[in-house]
Chains A and B, each alone.
Chain A
Amino acid sequence: MQIASKQIDDFKTERKDITPPLPVILRLVPLLLYCSIIIAVVLGAIFFLQLQLAIKKREGHRIETENIAIETQKTQSERAALEAEIKKATDIEAWVAGSRPIQPLLVEIARSMGARSSLIDLRIERDPDAPAQLKLAMKIGTDTTKQLDTTLDRITSQDYRTFSPQQNLGRGELDYRATLVSRQQRTPDVVPETPAP
């Protein structure tokens, strides 16, 4: 293989050659250098562009991930706040459900007394563990249980059901005890009668 010495540098100066020429195969070394430089530059440019793109892509994803993480945290905070509100609402609802006015019930019981009967003692207490339940204890001055039936009808008209009733009639007095449970629990759509303060 002949390689023109004018076109390819063979590391010779213009001085008279004092060393023997390189073998032909070693004359490929400069050609290899040129090719290496060209390939290194081209590949380097490609790799550099790809590296820059990858850096840009990575940073873009990283920023986006951070934004999403902030958004997620915000959503989690909102959910935690909402859960706290729900808990509070549930607690308030439980209180309201156990605070149904009992004055109308008292009035109904008192009004149910007939001409020959009298209400000697009336006690209504809320169960501390289940405030929606009322423990009724009353002593009626009467000789028959007819008065009790009338009174229980009036209690039922107030949307209460009686549980565990106990009655004892003797000496013109009737003792009656029962647990009253409201049929209509206060639900979230119930609003107070008075305007908000």
Chain B
Amino acid sequence: MNSKHIACAIVAVVIALLVQFTLWFQNSRSAMQRQAETAQFAETAAADQLARERVQLAELRRQSTDLIGFLKTWQPYFESIDNAQSAEVNYTMRVKEANLVNLAQRFELGTVKNNPSIPTAMRTYLTFEDDYPRLMNWLGDLEVKMPTLRISSVRLSKGTRPIDLRAEIILEHPLLKK
């Protein structure tokens, strides 16, 4: 083997390297193209999921329009008195303002069944003995001014005097979960 043969061999190696490099480059390109395709599939899948989520959200919005409107109307009433102390003060003031003969008054914090948003309610136990119109007017006025109020129990019976009415009332004021 002379120097020309060696030169030929080197050139052949260079050619092989060039071919190898070109093939490597082609493989890199193909791999990248596959990655791009995978990324495109992922994007399409994500876009489909987003479209489904949007449809579900729009449907939920459509179905709950009335309910959300109802919530917007009523929530301020529930939030106006949202703790036990405020509720106690509020009812004490209302009883005092009414100037009714109040025989007993007691407050108690109770749990509300099957209502996670209103887990507790302030229960007010009231016993009055006063004349019928005053008591009924006060009770009616209270129910109008405190629309979230729930009268959970009321007992009317004859009072000590003939004109008097004895009323034992249990009021429940809802306390929204914060």
A78 touches B57 (CB 8 A): yes
Q: Which 4 A-B pairs have the closest CB atoms?
A: A188-B70, A91-B117, A61-B39, A192-B147
Total A residues in contact with B, Cβ cutoff 8 Å: 80
Q: Which residues between 26 and 65 of chain B lie within 8 Å of chain A, taking CB atoms?
A: 26, 28-29, 32-33, 35-36, 39-40, 42-43, 46-47, 49-50, 53-54, 56-57, 60-61, 64
In the complex, identify which listed stretch (A126-134, A143-151, A161-169, A172-180) lies at the interface while the others stay far away.
A126-134
A11 touches B4 (CB 8 A): yes
Answer yes or no: B160 CB below 8 A from chain A CBs. Answer: no
| A interface SS class | helix
Known A89-B71, A98-B150: A120·B158 in contact at CB below 8 Å: yes
User: Which chain A residues lie closer than 8 Å to B112 at the CB level?
Assistant: 95
User: Which chain B residues lie closer than 8 Å to A54 at the CB level?
Assistant: 29, 32-33, 35-36
Q: CB within 8 Å of A: which residues of B?
A: 2-5, 7-8, 11-12, 14-15, 18-19, 21-22, 25-26, 28-29, 32-33, 35-36, 39-40, 42-43, 46-47, 49-50, 53-54, 56-57, 60-61, 64, 66-71, 73-78, 80, 112-118, 132, 136, 139-140, 143-145, 147-158, 174
Q: How far is the CB of B122 from chain A (nearest CB, A)?
A: 13
A188 touches B67 (CB 8 A): yes
Answer yes or no: A94 CB below 8 A from chain B CBs. Answer: yes
Partner of A68, one of B19, B43, B64: B43
User: Which chain B residues lie closer than 8 Å to A129 at the CB level?
Assistant: 113-114
User: Which chain B residues lie closer than 8 Å to A26 at the CB level?
Assistant: 4-5, 8
User: Which chain A residues lie closer than 8 Å to B36 at the CB level?
Assistant: 54-55, 57-58, 61
Partner of A103, one of B4, B7, B14, B143: B143
Q: How far is the CB of B156 from chain A (nearest CB, A)?
A: 4
A-B contact pairs, 8 of them (CB 8 A): A29-B8, A48-B25, A54-B32, A54-B35, A91-B115, A99-B148, A99-B149, A99-B150
Q: Which residues between 54 and 69 of chain A lie within 8 Å of chain B, taking CB atoms?
A: 54-55, 57-58, 61-62, 64-65, 68-69
Known A29-B12, A72-B49: A192·B77 in contact at CB below 8 Å: yes
Partner of B53, one of A19, A76, A92, A107: A76
A106 touches B154 (CB 8 A): yes
A89 touches B46 (CB 8 A): no
Answer yes or no: A75 CB below 8 A from chain B CBs. Answer: yes
A89 touches B67 (CB 8 A): yes
Q: CA A150 – CA B49 in complex, angstroms?
A: 63
A122 touches B25 (CB 8 A): no
Partner of B40, one of A36, A61, A124: A61
Known A19-B2, A22-B4, A40-B22: A93·B116 in contact at CB below 8 Å: no
Q: CA A98 – CA B5 in complex, angstroms?
A: 104
Chain A, Cβ-Cβ closest to B24: A47
